[in-house]
Amino acid sequence: MKLQVALDLTEPSIAIDLARKLCSAGAVDIVEAGTPLIKAAGILIVSALRVACPNVEIMADLKTMDVGALEARLAINAGANIVSVLGAAANETISEFINEARRLGGKPLVDMISVRDPRARLEELINAGLRPDYVGLHLGIDVQRSRGLTVEDLISEAVSIRNNYGLAVAIAGGIDEKVAPKIKGTNIDIVIVGRAITQAPDPVAAAKNIRRLLGID
């Protein structure tokens, strides 16, 4: 299991400084250039995070919906190890994205945010010969409220996909120190945490505590 911090910030200097502190302290395994950060600062923010954190993986949360090969190439050439494409994208886009990411040595993640039935969509992809390195399950707060879904549902679905399809899974959505113990002991591969780290009074201490609660350290 790895801990990923989602830098869903809009000020590049703040994001880079925070990333440097977290990486220097060994508090996270993966640093994510969040979608808002990429939109605010451009793809070269990935390069800046690579310089700030030379010994951890960098994830570019592109949320690609079209021109899959191009966007994967831009991010990986900038220094990303993991790149995301939306599960709601066309199979052709996902195929180009996966192929180009792997050609360049990157790891493609299919993000199932806003996909009503992630398992059914995953089966469609597998039947089309498309198997990403990671399946991302992301439960937004609005969706939790409107559909009555809980973080426990998210964890259960992630474990089920991991066990039944043999694909690595990443989960995100409201994960904090209260949720982390519920994930401990599962075979979930990546746990993505945003505000519980980035908005904490002491982000390094918060990240280390979540690592402990997840059973990583």
Using the predicted structure, report yes or no on whether residue 3 has a pLDDT greater than 90: yes
pLDDT digits (tens, 9 = 90+) for 163-214: 999 999 999 988 999 999 999 999 999 999 999 999 999 999 999 999 999 9
pTM of the model as a whole? 0.96
Q: Residues for the chain: how many in total? A: 217
Record the tokens describing residue 134, joined without a space: 């990671």
| Residue-level pLDDT at 152 | 85
Nearest Cα to Cα of residue 210 among 161, 200, 136:
200
Task: Tell me the torsion sign for CA atoms 52, 16, 2, 84.
Answer: negative
Where in the chain does DSSP place strands (E)? 2-7, 30-33, 57-64, 82-86, 107-111, 134-138, 168-172, 190-193
Using the predicted structure, report yes or no on whether residue 54 has a pLDDT greater than 90: yes
pLDDT digits (tens, 9 = 90+) for 61-92: 999 999 999 999 999 999 999 999 999 999 99
| Residue-level pLDDT at 166 | 95
| Residue-level pLDDT at 192 | 98
Q: How many domains does the chain have?
A: 1
Average pLDDT over residues 41-56: 98
DSSP structural state of residue 37: H
| Residue-level pLDDT at 22 | 98
| Residue-level pLDDT at 156 | 94
Q: Is 43 helix (H, G, I), strand (E, B) or coil?
A: coil
Backbone angles phi, psi at 41, to 5 degrees: -110, -15
Q: The domain spanning residue 198 has which CATH number?
A: 3.20.20.70
Using the predicted structure, report yes or no on whether residue 41 has a pLDDT greater than 90: yes
| Residue-level pLDDT at 146 | 61
Q: What is the rounded CA–CA span in Å between residue 136 and residue 32?
A: 13
Instruction: Give Rg (Cα) of the chain.
Output: 16
- Note whether 106 and 81 are within 8 A (CB): yes
Which residues span the domain enclosing 156?
2-214
46 pLDDT band (50/70/90 cuts)? Answer: very high
Q: What is the rounded CA–CA span in Å between residue 140 and residue 199?
A: 18
Q: Is 153 helix (H, G, I), strand (E, B) or coil?
A: helix
| Residue-level pLDDT at 138 | 85
pLDDT digits (tens, 9 = 90+) for 106-154: 999 999 998 989 999 999 999 999 999 999 998 766 666 666 678 888 8
Q: Classify residue 105 by burial, with Cβ atoms within 10 Å: 0-12, 13-18, 19+.
A: exposed
Average pLDDT over residues 3-17: 97
